[in-house]
Structure 1
Amino acid sequence: MAASLRHAPSAAPLAAVLDALPAGSVWQASRIADHADTCHPSGFAALDRELPGGGWPAGALIELLLDQPGVGELSLLLPLLGGAPAERWITLVSPPLLPYAPALADAGVALSRLLLVRPPQARDAVWAARQAAASGSCAAVLAWLHMPDNTALRRLQLAAEAGATPLFLFRPLAAARQSSPAALRLCLTPAAGQLRVDILKRRGPPLARPLLLPIR
């Protein structure tokens, strides 16, 4: 025991090593992580102020938890989808409802670059979402998957990282009780014509109070 203590590194050299690292290399849990060069603005200033890097992470799994479809989840993403580069695809995997094309077009979404994928099996939907995210050809992937397990979630996160693509996974509110490798988890609920956003997980301290965002 004495020998192990004698050779243990002191705190001072460790502090010196950390101080020598480039700014932003070390994330402190008491601060919001800063990755502005790998994020896309959400289009909502109040939300961007609370998201690490000031927007949606470019290569990460993002969970949006909601009680039922149609609470404003697509309106939340319209600024991102409407600003997508013309050469990139927007892929929707197994949406529970058919997206309303006129509203998407009005928001600037290029309908000719919209892919709607409806695999017959749950495992095929996971595979399709992974392939779309990892391809690097999509501006965003939106997926509604039936009860993905932890292995599927980890693979989705790795696919998003590999393709530097934001992969939005829509899940029921009950999933909030489960652990997830997602870099960002938001709970969405309607609130008198607005959208209430509770940030359940981010690289930074917990958000003390929910956000209320104006949506269409």
Structure 2
Amino acid sequence: MSRHRPPPEELLPEALSPEKLSLEALSLEELSPEELSPEQLWQRAGLWRASSIDCNFTKGVPTGFKVLDEHLPGHGWPADGVTELLHEQYGIGELRLLTPALAHLSQEQNRWLLWVSPPYIPYPPALLNAGIDLTSVLIVKPKTTGDTLWVLEKALSSKSCSAVLAWPGNINAKQIRRLQVASKKGNSWSILFRPGSAAQHASPAELRIQLFAASSPHTSTSINLKILKRRGGWATGMINLHFSDKLNQVAPDFQAPVTDFCEQPLFKIDGRSNGLKLH
């Protein structure tokens, strides 16, 4: 079957036309081993391509955890709309919770997996070990929260992304509602990583899950969670999920803080009409 994934400069067609865009998209397949370090990747580009995942969006995207599928509408992650993952610390397994679905999406859909403003460098061997096609991954680091929200809305509505993972910082209900609309328009799954304290406030997100470390961070073989909000169902009690041996072969979710490698923003947005530009 012939498949075509739009190039990065066409991801946000209204804002990122070639005339308005200055960036380099990296393919991990084209890099030598010594160039595969996160530092090299971030130094060379503001957009990083990575790789692999699937899904038919008529039903839920399988989570890879039977007990979790049983608690979710469609027996899986939603194909579109906003999902919030609320947690107090990084590296407790929040990415390993998503990697089975992301791998499925990267393998079945020829669309991007977009990561927006991640606080840490994702650990490439862990993504590969989970079955994620690194050629489908784009990572962007906007300068401000406002720029992050703008990129999110454009990407979600572009129809070019199967999933958009984002760490948006402070975000209010009105902004989340805009992302919800954009996600539905583009048939794209939006995942927002937010602090655990956000659970105290209402949100228009269709699915809200609070995560808790089951053991020591970075060495956990499981994760605890509560579903706070879901379509067609009540909140749940605590659910414990065990990661498979395959997911435990490479423990870290992340490599190191982004700030370890880049003190300045990787790119900035000089007004909405100018699009993204590298520093």
Q: TM-score category by the smaller chain?
A: 0.7 to 0.9
Trace 1:85-164 onto structure 2 (pairs within 5 A): 85=108, 87-164=110-187
Tell me what 1:210 maps to: 238
Q: Do the aligned residues in 1 keep the contact of 2:80 with 2:190 (CA within 8 Å)?
A: yes
Q: Which position in structure 2 is the counterpart of 1:65?
A: 86
Is 1:183 matched with 2:206? Answer: yes
Q: Is 2:104 the partner of 1:83?
A: yes
Residue 220 of structure 2 corresponds to residue 197 of structure 1: no
Query: Counterpart of 1:52?
Result: 73
- Once the two structures are TM-superposed, the CA of residue 39 in structure 1 deviates from its matched residue by 1.7
Q: Which protein has the larger Cα radius of gyration, Structure 1 or Structure 2?
A: 1
Deviating runs (4+, > 4 A) in structure 1?
A: none
Partner Cα separation in structure 1 for residue 235 and residue 90 of structure 2 = 24
Whether the 8 Å contact between 1:140 and 1:167 is mirrored in structure 2 is yes
Task: State how far apart, in whole Å, the 2-side matches of 1:162 and 1:100 are.
Answer: 31
CA separation in 1, counterparts of 2:78 and 2:109? 20
Question: Hey, what's the Cα distance between the residues in 2 that align with 1:96 and 1:147?
Answer: 14
C-alpha distance in 1 between matches for 2:187 and 2:238: 28
More helix by share: 1
Shift of 1:152: 0.9
User: Aligned partners of 1:161 and 1:208: how far apart in 2?
Assistant: 25
In structure 2, distance between residues paired with 1:139 and 1:160: 10
Number of aligned residues: 181
Unpaired runs of 5+ in structure 1?
1-35
Q: Secondary structure at the match of 1:209?
A: coil
Check conservation: 2:63, 2:98, Cα contact below 8 A: yes
Q: Deviations over 1:54-112 (max 9, x none)?
A: 11111110000000111111000000111123521100000000000111011111112
Given that 1:38 and 1:59 are in contact with CA atoms closer than 8 Å, whether structure 2 keeps it comes out as: no
- Aligned CA RMSD, in angstroms, stands at 1.4
% identical aligned pairs: 43
1:197 CA drift (Å): 1.1
- State the shift of 1:209 in Å: 2.1
Q: Is the 8 A contact 1:71 1:190 kept in 2?
A: yes
SS at match of 2:85: strand
TM-score (norm 2): 0.62
Asked if 2 retains the 8 angstrom alpha-carbon contact of 1:86 and 1:110, the reply is no
Partner of 2:266: none
Q: TM-score, normalised by structure 1?
A: 0.80
SS in 2 for 1:204: coil
